[in-house]
Amino acid sequence: MKRISLFTICFIIFIGSWVFLQFVIGGVISKPIPNSVIGMYMALVLVAILVHVSVEDSRFLEFLRPIHETLVDDKYRVRRLVLVIAIPVLLTGFTYTNLAQKTPPPGDPRDAHPTPPLELKYKDEVIETMQKAQNPYRHYEKDDPEAFKSHVENGRRVYYDNCFYCHGDHLDGQGHFAHGLQPLPANFQDPGIIPNFQESFFFWRISKGGPGLPASGTPWNSAMPVWEDHLTQEEIWDVILFLSDYTGYKYRTFGEGH
Amino acid sequence: MLRKRIVLLSILLGFTLFISIQVFTQEAPEVSAKGKEVYEESCAHCHGTEGRGDGSAAENLLPKPRDFTRGLYKIRSTESGELPTDQDLFEIITKGMPGSSMPGWETQLKTDERWEVVSYIKTFYDGFKESETPPRQISLKDKIPYSDESVQIGKGLYTDLGCIECHGNVGRGDGTSAPTLTDEWGFRTWPANLAENWNFRGGSDTEDIFKRFIGGIAGSPMPAFEGDSFLHFGLTSEESKRLSVMENKDEMTPDEEEESGKLYEKMDEAVLVALDRVEGTELTPEAQKMYDDAMKIVYEKSWHLANYVKSLSPEKRPETAIGNNVLRSQYMAEDLPILGDEAWDTLQESYYPLVGQVVIEPRQFNPTIDSVRVKSFYNDTEVAFLFTWDDRTHNTEVEENEDTGTSYEDGIAIQFPVKPPKGPTDEKPYFLWGGKKAVYVWQWKASAQDQITELTVKGVNNVTVQEMQGDLSVKGEYNEGQYRLWVKRTLATDDKKDLQLESGVFVPIAFSAWDGANGDNDIKRVISSWYSFVLEPVPSSRRFIYPPIVALLTVGFLFGLRGFVLRRNAVSVETDTEQ
Amino acid sequence: MKTKLLTSVAILLVCSFGLIVFADNHEKSDEMEKLVFPKAYTVKAVSGGGKISGVIKFDGEVPEMKKLEITKDEAVCGAEDKFDQSVVVGEDKALKNTIVYLMDISTGKDFEKNPKIEIDQKGCKFSPHVQIVPVGQRITMLNTDKVNHNVHIFSTINKPVNKQQTKTRRRMPLAGVKKAEGPVEVKCDIHGWMKAWIAYVPHPYFAVTNEKGEFTLEDVPAGTYKLGYWHEACGSNNKEPVTVTVAAGGEVKQDFTLKLKK
């Protein structure tokens, strides 16, 4: 049995690392990794390989042998010819596409979870601190299911009279105006939205809308209206009840996990 | 004695109750509890709990949610005047209706829930129960495949059948009848813009178009072109052609009178058979054959027409992805092309969808302008733009109309920040007409089509016409349901309130447009988010210089490496032999 | 004893019918403005029938007939001025285009044999403005103007109709309908101002008033009937029809004065 050469092993490790970073970590496990980060990892891999092969002279020679043979040995004339054409062509093509690429527009870095202010306000009226503010109708859920139901129903009415154009019939952020908006309307069916925020956060986002965002949330881009201009406090709390009632997700409550 | 009376009275009471229960149960349709529950949870807020299309959200919607109590359904696979099949209803619920606020429910409701809703909405109209025979379906066999020839035949029919009255000469929904159309409930309605088939409510496949055409769109002004109302029903294609020639003459010769008279007789005969069929009279085999032969031609022609309508739209909706949707102005060394120049055809359009402005009162919930398409060229001193958008009506002034409401002037506005943001984190002005930070706006109105007003705007209520109006070249035109606006400006101006343009700098750009006939005026309008505009830098010549250098260097390196190794080998061989 | 029993039967029956009527009204409040048809009608030769006639007058200030805006095909449609036909008042306040009919007749004469029912669209105007059509009878739409029309009939009980009548098609017959219905609106969407009414009726005791506001119902079998009317702008008397008694060979006069619906 012919032994696999050290060079081939190193080559496989190198390519394998790249595939692992690009597709396994950056695809299967999590989101795609930026090319610059991949480049850094690959540089590390390369250094590790070089250190490994150059620790002993014999190993280094063993490593270099295939390269050496390809360069000089007459047995490998065909391989030499292929490489001497393929390597320059690849590098040339790479240089060309890199130069011909159009510059992309600057990104719009946006904090999707902006920090809320300390106080929850409706117009200029302070309701409570952001942490302590509660949905005043939430307690009906246990105390008076009938009253709770009527608040949810009112929330449903408010939602379909005002919100569904953008946030969609299914509360999935795919309303019939959504395709013209950037950032896209919030998707309440996303498990990362409702469970991560308190009801007071939602009240803040609804009442103050896009213009009420801090600069990190790019308030100039958001088409979310300032709903305190159109809706009463009760209507806002009711629509908050409706959102969780419809989707089945529960808002985060302060002190959870204790 | 008393007991007898009590017995009698109770019998009577029982009888009365029986009758009243009978009456009430007749009124109450057989309701599937599940369907009712799903309907009330998911549909009633638009369609109303009683199915009258009057849910709380209906007020701001156009097209209005369907009123199920009249049994009129737009999207059917059935002939004119027939009810839809259950499958038709199921498909609409599943897929939704593009261009309206009806979404598809495939992800939200399970298959059996959607079927339950189908049977529930059928209870709103008694006709479903009463019809003894299943609705007659439109046959889709013998479809004529798409070809240029078929499209040409369809184009002729499009005019002959009078489609242009509403849909306009080239199909942009700008026919002369378009501004006065209402549906059977008295709500305003617009003919489809056939060049934007992604908004077709019943789908954009050729089969969908064919079905809408044959079966009509019930409740709307769109007639059904089935059977006997088709042009020259009962005549062969040749006879029809011949008759058209004669009909288009101002006066026929006696011979022609006779010839056409015979053809009319033949038509009448076929028409009477078609009416017999609709009325439910059983046809004799000869009559049936006459009818089938006539219908074969109708269907054939209808496929041609469907192919023609299909040809009016792009193959798919232009890409609306935002990140990649940069308006790149292309460099040219010579003078910039004017409106109508062929040079514009060499550029690909950038597509910017426009949506209703629902942020600030008065809001626009029912936009009629789909999008604006833009192209741009620049040279060393100037930049030129070509903006194109479809609008079914050409409104140049304020007009009061009792039936359709007041209409205003059409227009468009192109919005930039006064200064481009310095980096991605630099603050931009508010996307809708600016705010604390001002925007620089070009406002164009249909009444002054060769003029643009430069505005400085800091919010919808803070609009200032710039004192110094720049030297902009402007040409606008309205043709066949489409506006085209050409604008040219110098890259740099002397006015501090103007945006200064530089190659390679990304500038935010946003649009507002007004369709006056749709009540758009001032704040009520259609809008876009911020997009990016850039004077695309001249592709540097480096891309032709560097790659060959790289190639040469690589080859050189490879040969050098080989030479080096060969030499070292020779040396080591020498030393070996010396040893 | 017997009388008491009968009284209670009668009371209970009245109650139960009241319930029925109540249920019906509750369901169909918006159908009050439609014509009322008998449940069934039997044709029987009438000899020595009576006659009901009268004049319909308009009560109140006569609204000015709105001039219609001709938005297209001006050469043909705008050749002469057109006016809204919803209230046409002639001399001495005579009200045209009112349907007067017997609501509850169950036996009587047959329809005229092969009546010629034509609605003309000349000059982009339907004439007549109100047309009575026997159930099952075909209507012929006329078009001599060489412009495209579409005949759109807003039926809800019968199958709705919306057919293009292309400019070269001079005569377009429409299929007869199965059920009595109406009046239903007829529109041409191409020429949005064109509007008319069709009533599909199950018996021949219907009349439409002429320019003088006159109507005549002939060959009415002797008996007592409810006399109804319907007018586009003034509504109907479905809630309180007038009762007339016709003697064999006699003539009954019944005039009406109508006000605009609120």
B531-548: b (≥16 Cβ within 10 Å) or e: bbbbbbeeeeeeeeebbe
Pair B57, B72: CB distance under 8 Å: no
C150: distance to nearest CA of chain B, Å? 7
Average pLDDT over residues C154-160: 91
Residue of B nearest to C177 (CA): B279
Residues near B372 by beta carbon (within 8 Å), at least 6 away in sequence: B352, B354, B387, B388, B389, B412, B511, B513, B528
What pLDDT is recorded for position A100? Answer: 75
Nearest beta carbon to residue A169 from set B103, B429, B527: B103
Interface A:B, Cβ pairs < 8 A: 145
Domain count, chain C: 1
Residue C52's H or E segment, with its range, is strand C50-58
Where are the alpha helices (H) located in B161-253, listed in sequence order?
A: 164-167, 206-215, 237-247
Binned at pLDDT 50, 70 and 90, residue B20 comes out as very low
> Three-state SS string across B363-382, please?
CCCCCCCCEEEEEEEECCCE
Binned at pLDDT 50, 70 and 90, residue A34 comes out as confident
DSSP-derived secondary structure for B333-364 = SSPPP-TT-GGGGGSPPEEEE-EE--SSSSP-
Residue of B nearest to C4 (CA): B5
- Taking an 8 Å cut-off on Cβ atoms, the answer to whether B555 and A95 are in contact is no
| C-alpha gyration radius of chain C | 21
Chains that touch B (3 or more CB pairs under 8 A): A, C
Residue of B nearest to C150 (CA): B223
Residue of B nearest to A101 (CA): B539
Domain harbouring C238, CATH code:
2.60.40.420
On chain B, the residues whose CB falls within 8 A of the CB of C167 are 162
Task: For B383-405, write each residue's pLDDT tens digit.
Answer: 999 999 999 999 999 988 777 77
What pLDDT is recorded for position A2? Answer: 62
What pLDDT is recorded for position C22? Answer: 43
Average pLDDT over residues B83-109: 93
B281: distance to nearest CA of chain A, Å? 46
Where are the alpha helices (H) located in B161-205, listed in sequence order?
A: 164-167
Nearest beta carbon to residue C173 from set B161, B225, B271: B271
Task: For C212-247, write each residue's pLDDT tens digit.
Answer: 999 999 999 999 999 999 999 999 999 889 999 999
On chain B, the residues whose CB falls within 8 A of the CB of C9 are 12
The SS3 of residue C256 is strand
B146 has a pLDDT exceeding 90: yes
CA angle B241, B247, B248 (to 5 degrees): 95
What pLDDT is recorded for position C9? Answer: 53
Task: For B63-88, write each residue's pLDDT tens digit.
Answer: 899 999 999 999 999 999 899 999 99
On chain C, the residues whose CB falls within 8 A of the CB of B275 are 138, 173-176
Average pLDDT over residues B149-160: 95
On chain B, the residues whose CB falls within 8 A of the CB of A68 are 565
- Taking an 8 Å cut-off on Cβ atoms, the answer to whether B229 and C16 are in contact is no
Distance CA B365, CA A149 (A): 29
Binned at pLDDT 50, 70 and 90, residue B7 comes out as low
B426: distance to nearest CA of chain A, Å? 9
Average pLDDT over residues B563-575: 78
Nearest beta carbon to residue B162 from set C20, C162, C164: C164
Percent of chain C residues topping a pLDDT of 70:
88
* B326-535: CATH number: 2.60.40.1190
pTM of the predicted model, to two decimals?
0.84
Nearest beta carbon to residue C138 from set B165, B275, B403: B275
- Taking an 8 Å cut-off on Cβ atoms, the answer to whether C192 and B82 are in contact is no
Q: Name the CATH architecture for the domain at A119-247.
A: Orthogonal Bundle (1.10)
B139 has a pLDDT exceeding 60: yes
What pLDDT is recorded for position B510? Answer: 95
- Taking an 8 Å cut-off on Cβ atoms, the answer to whether B224 and C163 are in contact is yes
What pLDDT is recorded for position A258? Answer: 37
- Taking an 8 Å cut-off on Cβ atoms, the answer to whether A223 and B359 are in contact is yes
Nearest beta carbon to residue A221 from set B108, B527, B529: B529
Q: Do chain C and chain B touch with ≥3 beta carbon pairs under 8 Å?
A: yes
- Taking an 8 Å cut-off on Cβ atoms, the answer to whether C166 and B231 are in contact is yes
Q: Which fold has domain B31-130?
A: Cytochrome Bc1 Complex; Chain D, domain 2 (1.10.760)
Range with the poorest average pLDDT among A4-13, B317-326, C40-49 = B317-326
Touching C: B residues 390-419, CB under 8 Å:
401, 403
- Look at strands B411-417 and C99-102 and give their pairing: unpaired
B189 has a pLDDT exceeding 70: yes
Distance CA B243, CA B266 (A): 12
B271 reaches C (C-beta below 8 A): yes
Binned at pLDDT 50, 70 and 90, residue B25 comes out as very low
A214 reaches B (C-beta below 8 A): no
Q: Per mean pLDDT, which of A172-186, B158-172, C2-16 is the most reliable? A: B158-172
Distance CA B300, CA A57 (A): 84
What pLDDT is recorded for position B22? Answer: 45
- Look at strands C171-174 and C206-208 and give their pairing: unpaired
Binned at pLDDT 50, 70 and 90, residue B120 comes out as very high
In this prediction the ipTM stands at: 0.83
B157 has a pLDDT exceeding 70: yes
Task: For chain C, give the mean pLDDT.
Answer: 88
Test mutation, B1, B4, B19, chain C, max C CBs within 10 A:
B19
Task: For C102-137, write each residue's pLDDT tens digit.
Answer: 999 999 999 998 889 999 999 999 999 999 999 999
What pLDDT is recorded for position A56? Answer: 86
What pLDDT is recorded for position B12? Answer: 53
C86 reaches B (C-beta below 8 A): no
Residues near C92 by beta carbon (within 8 Å), at least 6 away in sequence: C57, C213
Task: For B349-369, write each residue's pLDDT tens digit.
Answer: 899 999 999 989 899 999 999
Binned at pLDDT 50, 70 and 90, residue C32 comes out as low
B218 reaches C (C-beta below 8 A): yes
On chain B, the residues whose CB falls within 8 A of the CB of A91 are 550-551, 554
What pLDDT is recorded for position C27? Answer: 40
B374 has a pLDDT exceeding 90: yes
Residue of B nearest to A214 (CA): B427
Residue C59 lies in a domain: yes
Percent of chain C residues topping a pLDDT of 90:
69
Test mutation, C13, C157, C169, C181, chain B, max B CBs within 10 A:
C169
Is the bond preceding B362 in cis, omega lying within 30 degrees of 0?
A: yes
Average pLDDT over residues A54-78: 84
The CA dihedral of C24, C30, C31, C35, to the nearest 10 degrees, is: 130
Binned at pLDDT 50, 70 and 90, residue C6 comes out as low
- Taking an 8 Å cut-off on Cβ atoms, the answer to whether B223 and C150 are in contact is yes
Instruction: State the residue range of the domain holding C151.
Output: 50-258
B544 reaches C (C-beta below 8 A): no
The CA dihedral of B397, B401, B404, B409, to the nearest 10 degrees, is: 10
Task: For B257-276, write each residue's pLDDT tens digit.
Answer: 999 999 999 999 999 999 99
Average pLDDT over residues A36-48: 89
B8 has a pLDDT exceeding 70: no
| C-alpha gyration radius of chain A | 30
What pLDDT is recorded for position B3? Answer: 58
Q: Do chain C and chain A touch with ≥3 beta carbon pairs under 8 Å?
A: no
What pLDDT is recorded for position A255? Answer: 59
Nearest beta carbon to residue B16 from set C15, C73, C168: C15
On chain C, the residues whose CB falls within 8 A of the CB of B229 are 163-165, 172
Nearest beta carbon to residue B81 from set C72, C160, C165: C160
What pLDDT is recorded for position C4? Answer: 59
What pLDDT is recorded for position B324? Answer: 56
Interface B:C, Cβ pairs < 8 A: 118
B469 has a pLDDT exceeding 80: yes
Average pLDDT over residues B425-432: 90
On chain C, the residues whose CB falls within 8 A of the CB of B279 are 136, 175-176, 178
A257 has a pLDDT exceeding 90: no
What pLDDT is recorded for position A65? Answer: 84
B12: distance to nearest CA of chain C, Å? 7
Range with the poorest average pLDDT among A81-95, B228-242, B539-553, C61-75 = B539-553
Average pLDDT over residues A103-111: 78
| C-alpha gyration radius of chain B | 33
- Taking an 8 Å cut-off on Cβ atoms, the answer to whether B161 and C164 are in contact is yes
Percent of chain B residues topping a pLDDT of 90:
69
Q: Where in chain A is the domain with CATH 1.10.760?
A: 119-247
CA quadruple B173, B179, B183, B184: dihedral positive or negative?
negative
